[in-house]
Structure 1
Amino acid sequence: MNQKNIVWVLIVLVVLGSLLYTLSGGESPEQYRERIEEERERQFKFLKFNADSPLTGEQKSELDQLEFFPVDPVYKVKARMVPAQNRRMLELPMTDGSVERYIRHSFAEFELEGRILRLLLLQAADEKDSRNFFLAFADATSGDVTYGGGRYINLRQDGQNSVTIDFNLAYNPYCAYNPDYACPLPPKENVLDVPILAGEKNYIK
């Protein structure tokens, strides 16, 4: 390869690198991983030290770390939001047998490892910000390496008809740590038959 071709290859690589950097929201892979790890550390410290933690005093003293899948950018996806045809109020069952009311807002459609998946986005009945959503889901790992009652992700719409779902930020509900708490169960639309190997694993005392 002559010098001129080498220069062109370098220019193309720089342009591609800049494009990827822009599409990732201005984060390098290392920065992204560090941000996820920082959020996980914040979550650990809340459970370990905060007065509002669902953990008992004994659990706090014994908690050394939380278990997570390795950070994997594959599980950060851009989803298309499709409005629910019947945007009605949904009574979501809780782990204690009660119900909590949410609005069936829209469906998030995305591709993950070659499959098209679809999840129902919920909005709390008293939510003041129309761009905030609640995602409760279960998958093929639920009841095995992850909590059987599913996991949660807090979402914020980041496009006119799109939302970014980062499964690396999936976390356990309070009832995964303490059965005295009541937590919403995932709606039937959000029970996936594929494993989501990202986010928080099951809590084992």
Structure 2
Amino acid sequence: MTPETALQLADWRRQNAALYARVREQADPAAAHALWRDGRDQMMRSHPQSPLPAGDPMRASGVPYWPYDPALRWTVPVEPVARQQRLVIDTGPDGVTRFEQVGWVTLGDPVGRRVALWWLDQYGGGLFLPLRDATAGTTSYGAGRYLLDTAKGADLGSAGQALVIDLNFQYHPSCRYDSRWVCPLAPHDNVIDVPIRAGERLTQPD
């Protein structure tokens, strides 16, 4: 990695963390989501580490999302695990990525499913919550989307032992846009049979 690339990546993470900090300060979740969309679109459009290839139409149009749905936001307790799982995922030129399960979170109605919460067991560590729902492969990326990745600043906050979960903030990993990126995908315990029509989608709605 060149010094230029390293500084660009550090700036991307710095801007992303600052964006989520502003999101957490908002009292109105819908306004927070609009702020996040605008900030993310600006980064995707113009940052030198944007995963969008040069000339991609989404640099002008913005990334497509479903409308904000307030029913898909909860503050949920992190439930303990009876037996911790560890995953080692091949991420190509970056080597391997290691995860350790730290708990479960139950998504409230109308979803009603329990998914695994992971800890990124390298770098400085961080919470990681990917999700592959029943829209995957049709209206969202086939390998799933991310909701939390606190090592990279994607953090909606917490209250004591409970996490803020808002499925409207799901976003596609960089590998959805460009094959030069290799991304950890949703493990088995993060795959659900319910369609989540919220967050980032593949195409603009008709």
Q: What TM-score bracket applies, with the shorter chain setting the length?
A: 0.7 to 0.9
| Partner secondary structure for residue 198 of structure 2 | coil
Residues in 2 aligned to 1:61 and 1:151: alpha-carbon distance in whole angstroms = 18
Aligned: 1:83 with 2:77: no
- Sort the Cα spacing of 1:77 and 1:100 in 2 relative to 1 into closer, same or farther, 3 A: same
Bigger mean CA deviation after superposition, 76-85 or 100-109? 76-85
The alignment covers a number of residue pairs equal to 173
- Sort the Cα spacing of 1:134 and 1:142 in 2 relative to 1 into closer, same or farther, 3 A: same
Query: What does 1:1-205 align with in structure 2 at a 5 Å threshold?
Result: 27=27, 31-59=28-56, 63-92=60-89, 94=91, 99-113=96-110, 116-126=112-122, 128=124, 132-154=126-148, 155=155, 158-202=158-202
Structure 1 stretches lacking a partner, 5+ long:
1-24
Query: Contact conserved, 2:143 with 2:185, CA < 8 A, in 1?
Result: yes
Q: Answer with 1 or 2: which has the greater Rg.
A: 1
Query: What do you get for the CA RMSD once the two structures are aligned?
Result: 2.6
Question: With structure 2 as the length reference, what TM-score do the two structures score?
Answer: 0.74
Structure 2 stretches lacking a partner, 5+ long:
1-24, 149-154
Query: Contact conserved, 1:110 with 1:116, CA < 8 A, in 2?
Result: yes
**1:29-69: CA deviation from partner (whole Å, max 9, x where unpaired):** xx322221110111111111001111222226853221101
- Sort the Cα spacing of 1:193 and 1:88 in 2 relative to 1 into closer, same or farther, 3 A: closer
**Runs of 4+ residues deviating >6 angstroms:** none
Amino acid in the other structure paired with 1:117: R
| Partner secondary structure for residue 45 of structure 1 | helix
Query: Contact conserved, 2:53 with 2:177, CA < 8 A, in 1?
Result: no
1:128 offset after TM fit, Å? 3.9
Question: With structure 1 as the length reference, what TM-score do the two structures score?
Answer: 0.75
Percent identity, aligned pairs only, is 25
1:167 offset after TM fit, Å? 0.6
